[in-house]
Structure 1
């Protein structure tokens, strides 16, 4: 992360010198010299990358630079913090004197760093650049990257198709009595991938009335298993808050007792776990099944004498998998095939290792020399060290801009499903994403994530409705590699759960359990710049803990407390002046302090607090704000009522949610680059005035309208000309429209995703008229009272996906869906028998593999099994 550290300090220093030079009073000269040295150093990193790739930068060289940069960053940040602190209490004369006294010490530190960087740069010829001729990385265009993502999203778990069919048969054709199936195999063999393939199989989803997946390796108690199933699958989070363990057991047992269920217990490490979990799942006579995955034969034997042992891939299957990854199903040149077979064979039959090496080879020139260098890099490794060697090669071949992003995955708990939206915001706040012409920071970061997925270092978990990555995860073996590699450079540390190390001198800390305990016992952490917390739901964060953050964690830039329940949000939060990312959740806070607007460097602000009503947020002071998320109706003050308004909010991309009355006048015109807008509240009085300004938002792509249930319903939507023509996604929730919205929404020329959710429309009939929705790819209907859905010929010509959930009154699906050649996926939740039969017939009509049909049944619903 040396290059990232240089870039972060350079950006920070350049901004302060340009915009807030008064904060560096007394050290401006030294800071300017350091800035020049950092520019030179940054350019040198980039030239190395262009010429030789990441392998060219020796570990010693990078480590020396990073240590010096961290020294300078600590000195400058602390000096700025003290300057801000004393400015409000001292007169100008005394302030200048204090800054002068402190500044002399800081100036000496800065000059020492500057001299050190210059010496390293002058000595660069002493560092040997190895394999320069072999590390030429081809540049891929957007179309090829997208093609890779699409190709491998649809590729089967290569090598385990026969095993998948065997397990599916065992799950659905066995005895009526509850049965247990165990999968045993080495780490990286593909147990979870195979299990996921089975779990998401159409036959399985239709056969079982209830399914749940729990990763046992990341839970610490039986209660956590209970909570995981009840909260994630039964969606009863509020109902179980105050339940005892005994009550939770009874709740789950009672639900499953008369249900055909499938429970996956993934990555079980200890035999005694099964003794604790066995009694949670009733031995009913409905054909229920439990699938367990483990690396240990004795764990499987303690559950059942029969289990599936996954053998490593043989030589042929190993090469087939590697070839598919590198050539996307195309032909391998004859001169490379022999080398490729040898490379695949060195992976010991482990799909994970093969895929990582495939990611390396896919980015290299397809030459004998290039492939020979890869083979020689892994040929010397012992069998016990083979995975580590492969992971190391995959990491070392990353371009400089991806290495920091990849190691960042070590922050998160093992097997954690990560929101791409949050991840991208974090990367930007950390300074990992540089500015590029004709692309936003978010677009660049999305490309980075897609490239890591393409390299098979990161797994795609869920896709967005409109395309792209929704969630992702990292394999537990690669996760351990990330933590180990990040610790080497004191870039990142984790504490809690299965790890017990403290932050030490690391710049970033992830706390995975007992968060308040850690903060209370580690009250000084001036080295920290990022603090992400991943505790159990329900842990409270009080005012005393806030005070510890103000005093000991004052230099933090990234603060994520969303896994905690923050009791209040104090006004003193403004003291954390370096914050760029802030994520909070509270069930008791009733105010959002106005002082939060004084966090002028804040880029992302997320607040989930249902008791906070209509908070006034002075966005006009937050010129660096890019994303604002609030669960209610935040109020944007009119620009003419704000005395300290500086300029328009050109950086703002997301504003969700604000009140409808905030959209009056020219308020939204001062946000010219707004991409996503959420409006929540009373539409009855303000819908017309709000839409008068919406049409002028030329960059807006996503619009969400949510009615507050306390206010009157919205009768009809404005005419479609009032909507921005750039919209690609529209979501309506609780609006209770009485007039069919399809008439207006169907005219939007670029609309690709439409979601009507929770009584968005109270009518009985939806009509998609001829030539409407020319670009719509995804339609989601949830909890509507419709009984009829009509689709005229020529409508929905681009439709790919349909989701219908809790629309019990819908009597039938449109027959014209059979004529839509683009339709690829249909999800039906609790459909009636006529809808179900039509969907199955539609799947047959489309042909094998052409339509992915997913059917989810109610507890007492019909099952095709």
Structure 2
């Protein structure tokens, strides 16, 4: 039951040192402790009811009443704390006259705590009157659970890493489908623009198959322009912008009209053979906004879409038969299960045959159902008998006419029920985002932390999660949040996309699970999705109040005059980025009304990422409790000076805005850990309070910067640093960087007074043992020895005359290397034998002087992807690499003769041996 998850979050908030200090000072700590202990005892009753499958309507009503008490406790304590903060912020004279108010507030708090204690007594009495309640009146948990459905699935958390699914497992049974679709798409006989549709039931693997086709070598060779968009985004503007960004980010004008975007798209697709994939099309109107923007040049361009509706597929292109995706065969279905689940070693052949027969009859060849069931069965602690219980559960005995989507939802529910309580709020939080929305990991982790969902110490032990470089850190909130995310990924509850180095870049929730958690979040009033005024009718009238609002429509319709709809608000996230013609006045009006109702807000999260120029209230600083302020890509020119009055702000994200200055008062933020700006000169003269800072990205340093006078010794905890500088001497700068022992990511750009790349006097950085990512833009005369910990390295405009490869080859952990424009201006390059032992991806861009490249035997043994772009004088690909079949070679704007030679060798490799 998710009520327990909410209670655990509230208890964690009360453990905040600032709140503990406040209630201790006012002599109510003992009362609060008694209340929380009583609530914990009542929580065990709810757990017992769920275990015994006795969660009837009467118990649900009691659970809501329990939740009301929990929320009331949270509101009372936080409001009191913020009231004290409000008084402390006044001047001395005002504070003297407010002493009596302070004393009164303390008395009010004690009285309110007593009221909550009385409500708990009444709640206990009503519990005893409920019918069919297990352990009647006994606040004790049973020693063992009687149902595998409630306990057995939770065993998954004990070995969550054992069922991480490799991407290969999802394409089992699709090889022939992939071959046929690739043949259709690359058919040179059909030169006009054609639409090819993949049709299949929910969970049948349409998107997986489309991704396999889209990423295949044959498709990459045949089409010189490929674009993938999801139909879940709004049509046509967001789709047009998404397509243009994938073609060339530099041509995107966020403020252009739709007609201008269409014209620009036609212009950039002219003379290109392109492939557009539109995923998850559910209506006839989805493609209508795109047809006018895509030219038909009779050069073999194609559009491929996935859909569950045959009528949509037929209307997209009546000339072509839709490609009907069939369920997996019994053998392929069993093979996929074995890829996603491990059977105990002691299972006999007869038992395995019985499992296989029952499994095949239940899943009916639907890949999503198979993978989901694999997640349920993937733990060695689950016995053979318990696996049979899952397969024989009555909820699997569906009528043959029912949709396979029901099966996917059952699987999603079971996997959700297997989650430990500390992960449930984190998973439910995905429901705040629009369906199919790809959430950047940096955004998600910061939001979880700001909301108070992350415990101070993770409940997982070293046996629960394998030790990796990502989870052996010091246990900061961000590190714990990262472990939470990894566990959700391991349980296959969300999907991820990876960045260049293989780390998780963004994640998205599966559709059937998204639908499920919305209903669960609604029951506990975790958040409200606001689209229209009608959406709020039930939420606004609830006695629990609205605690989080996600705006998917227009916030001007929000009924702020209803106290219950605004006075308990903790978070406001807006996804209304459709109208970019005028600043968003409604956002400012809404926030002003919140301040008016609350006086000083309980708001912890204000996330307006991608909202066009939202108007912020001047008294934004009254949101004393704000922990997260996200204004990335809002194109704002200024922020209110009062932003410096947010004492507990942890994240301030101003990246991709037009903000050129910030008030000096931001350095009073003792809790600020993450600051993103864009080429902003900061006055660091008051920096002594910012020792907590971990991220400082977008800093501009020149001779006028106070940093040169005051130093940056306070920033020893920095993990991520990005700065651009123009200095006569950068010696002091590099000495400071060398002292940042915790640094993990570094981006340095050296510019001259005209804004062009200039000299970057790279110094040895031997002490940066944690540095993983490095991006250097500027002229480097000689490449010195770099930190051995580097995994990702980008060099641009380095103008190196000496071959850098012998030095780079010695980096033992380097997996991704990009030598960008004019990074090397020599004519010969040699990769020594046994070098680059871990390198997987290599990109050589615009090395215009390079003529000969030699790779010695034994070098780059693990190379998987090689991209060469605009190296116009390079004569040939190294012979050692030419004959490795495991390497994917991508050539862009290379001489025809070079391309011909590479393709000829690849064709020879594909021929059968004699």
Normalising by structure 2, what TM-score? 0.82
1:77-156 to 2 correspondences below 5 Å: 77-85=78-86, 88=90, 91-92=94-95, 94-101=97-104, 106-116=109-119, 123=137, 125=139, 130-131=146-147, 134-135=152-153, 137=155, 145=161, 149=164, 152-156=166-170
Is the counterpart of residue 739 in structure 1 residue 781 in structure 2?
A: yes
Partner of 1:298: 311
Q: Is the 8 A contact 2:341 2:378 kept in 1?
A: yes
The 1:691/1:594 distance shift into structure 2, 3 A limit, reads farther
- What is the rounded CA distance, in whole Å, between the counterparts of 1:352 and 1:673 in structure 2? 43
Q: 1:228 aligned to 242, 248, 254, which one?
A: 242
Could you tell me how far 1:309 is from its partner in structure 2? 0.9
The 1:601/1:331 distance shift into structure 2, 3 A limit, reads farther
- What is the rounded CA distance, in whole Å, between the counterparts of 1:585 and 1:533 in structure 2? 12
Q: Deviations over 1:432-476 (max 9, x none)?
A: 2212274232222222222222222111222x3344311121222
Could you tell me how far 1:159 is from its partner in structure 2? 2.2
Partner of 2:463: none
- What is the rounded CA distance, in whole Å, between the counterparts of 2:570 and 2:769 in structure 1? 41
- What is the rounded CA distance, in whole Å, between the counterparts of 2:854 and 2:343 in structure 1? 37
Is the counterpart of residue 399 in structure 1 residue 420 in structure 2?
A: yes
The 1:224/1:568 distance shift into structure 2, 3 A limit, reads closer
Could you tell me how far 1:763 is from its partner in structure 2? 4.0
Q: 1:656 aligned to 693, 697, 700, which one?
A: 697
The 1:448/1:253 distance shift into structure 2, 3 A limit, reads same
Partner of 2:341: 326
Q: 1:249 aligned to 245, 262, 265, which one?
A: 262
Q: Deviations over 1:29-55 (max 9, x none)?
A: 445422454367569979999x99999
- What is the rounded CA distance, in whole Å, between the counterparts of 1:498 and 1:365 in structure 2? 49
- What is the rounded CA distance, in whole Å, between the counterparts of 1:57 and 1:803 in structure 2? 60
- What is the rounded CA distance, in whole Å, between the counterparts of 1:857 and 1:514 in structure 2? 45
The alignment covers a number of residue pairs equal to 836
1:304-453 to 2 correspondences below 5 Å: 304-305=317-318, 306-327=321-342, 334=349, 335-336=351-352, 338-339=354-355, 341-363=357-379, 365-377=381-393, 378-382=395-399, 383-384=402-403, 385-436=406-457, 438-453=474-489
Could you tell me how far 1:287 is from its partner in structure 2? 1.0
Partner of 2:195: 180
- What is the rounded CA distance, in whole Å, between the counterparts of 1:519 and 1:363 in structure 2? 49
The 1:588/1:548 distance shift into structure 2, 3 A limit, reads farther
Q: 1:753 aligned to 792, 802, 811, which one?
A: 792
Q: 2:814 aligned to 757, 769, 776, which one?
A: 776
- Secondary structure at the aligned position of 1:357 is classed as helix
The 1:345/1:246 distance shift into structure 2, 3 A limit, reads same
- Secondary structure at the aligned position of 1:6 is classed as helix
- Secondary structure at the aligned position of 1:218 is classed as coil
- What is the rounded CA distance, in whole Å, between the counterparts of 2:346 and 2:850 in structure 1? 49
Is the counterpart of residue 162 in structure 1 residue 207 in structure 2?
A: no
Partner of 1:214: 229
The 1:582/1:368 distance shift into structure 2, 3 A limit, reads same
Partner of 1:492: 527
Is the counterpart of residue 704 in structure 1 residue 747 in structure 2?
A: yes
The 1:135/1:613 distance shift into structure 2, 3 A limit, reads closer
Q: Deviations over 1:707-747 (max 9, x none)?
A: 356467542434314662332221123x2x1414xx21x44
Could you tell me how far 1:280 is from its partner in structure 2? 2.5
- What is the rounded CA distance, in whole Å, between the counterparts of 2:42 and 2:709 in structure 1? 49
Q: Which moved more, 1:344-353 or 1:184-193?
A: 344-353
- What is the rounded CA distance, in whole Å, between the counterparts of 1:53 and 1:824 in structure 2? 50
Q: Deviations over 1:606-647 (max 9, x none)?
A: 113553335455555323222221122342523xx57xx55x
Could you tell me how far 1:57 is from its partner in structure 2? 11
Q: Is the 8 A contact 2:197 2:322 kept in 1?
A: yes
Q: 1:511 aligned to 545, 551, 557, which one?
A: 551
Could you tell me how far 1:101 is from its partner in structure 2? 4.7
- What is the rounded CA distance, in whole Å, between the counterparts of 1:468 and 1:265 in structure 2? 26
Q: Is the 8 A contact 2:451 2:604 kept in 1?
A: yes
Is the counterpart of residue 258 in structure 1 residue 271 in structure 2?
A: yes
The 1:498/1:203 distance shift into structure 2, 3 A limit, reads farther
Q: Is the 8 A contact 1:356 1:391 kept in 2?
A: yes
1:43-54 to 2 correspondences below 5 Å: none
The 1:18/1:521 distance shift into structure 2, 3 A limit, reads closer
The 1:343/1:525 distance shift into structure 2, 3 A limit, reads farther
Could you tell me how far 1:588 is from its partner in structure 2? 6.2
The 1:552/1:804 distance shift into structure 2, 3 A limit, reads farther
- What is the rounded CA distance, in whole Å, between the counterparts of 2:505 and 2:86 in structure 1? 41
- What is the rounded CA distance, in whole Å, between the counterparts of 1:507 and 1:228 in structure 2? 33
Q: Which moved more, 1:110-119 or 1:526-535?
A: 110-119
Q: Is the 8 A contact 1:569 1:591 kept in 2?
A: no
Could you tell me how far 1:302 is from its partner in structure 2? 1.3
Normalising by structure 1, what TM-score? 0.86
- What is the rounded CA distance, in whole Å, between the counterparts of 1:497 and 1:826 in structure 2? 49
The 1:587/1:470 distance shift into structure 2, 3 A limit, reads closer
- What is the rounded CA distance, in whole Å, between the counterparts of 2:769 and 2:335 in structure 1? 47
Is the counterpart of residue 551 in structure 1 residue 596 in structure 2?
A: yes
The 1:69/1:814 distance shift into structure 2, 3 A limit, reads farther
1:465-864 to 2 correspondences below 5 Å: 465-496=500-531, 500=535, 504=540, 505-515=545-555, 518=558, 525-536=566-577, 538=580, 540-542=583-585, 543-544=588-589, 546-552=591-597, 554-566=601-613, 571-585=618-632, 589-593=636-640, 595-608=642-655, 610-613=657-660, 615=662, 617-618=664-665, 620-635=667-682, 637-638=684-685, 641=686, 649=691, 651-660=692-701, 661=705, 668-682=712-726, 684-685=727-728, 687-707=730-750, 710=753, 713-721=757-765, 724-733=768-777, 735=778, 737-740=779-782, 743-744=783-784, 746-757=785-796, 759=797, 761-763=798-800, 766-769=803-806, 772-784=810-822, 786-788=824-826, 789-807=829-847, 810-811=850-851, 813-816=853-856, 819-829=859-869, 832=872, 834=874, 838=877, 845-847=883-885, 850-855=886-891
- What is the rounded CA distance, in whole Å, between the counterparts of 1:749 and 1:126 in structure 2? 54
The 1:176/1:688 distance shift into structure 2, 3 A limit, reads same
- What is the rounded CA distance, in whole Å, between the counterparts of 1:313 and 1:499 in structure 2? 43
Q: Is the 8 A contact 1:4 1:432 kept in 2?
A: no
The 1:265/1:656 distance shift into structure 2, 3 A limit, reads same
Q: Is the 8 A contact 1:695 1:725 kept in 2?
A: no
Partner of 1:277: 290
Q: Is the 8 A contact 2:200 2:307 kept in 1?
A: yes
Q: Is the 8 A contact 1:747 1:772 kept in 2?
A: no
- Secondary structure at the aligned position of 2:790 is classed as coil
Provide structure 1 residue ranges, at least 5 long, that are not aligned to the other structure: none
- What is the rounded CA distance, in whole Å, between the counterparts of 1:109 and 1:396 in structure 2? 35
Q: Deviations over 1:547-571 (max 9, x none)?
A: 3453357222111111213366665
Could you tell me how far 1:272 is from its partner in structure 2? 4.0
- What is the rounded CA distance, in whole Å, between the counterparts of 2:569 and 2:520 in structure 1? 18
Q: Which moved more, 1:296-305 or 1:368-377?
A: 368-377
Q: Is the 8 A contact 1:491 1:507 kept in 2?
A: yes
- What is the rounded CA distance, in whole Å, between the counterparts of 1:256 and 1:499 in structure 2? 43
Q: Which moved more, 1:171-180 or 1:701-710?
A: 701-710
Provide structure 2 residue ranges, at least 5 long, that are not aligned to the other structure: 128-135, 459-473, 908-914
- What is the rounded CA distance, in whole Å, between the counterparts of 1:663 and 1:227 in structure 2? 39
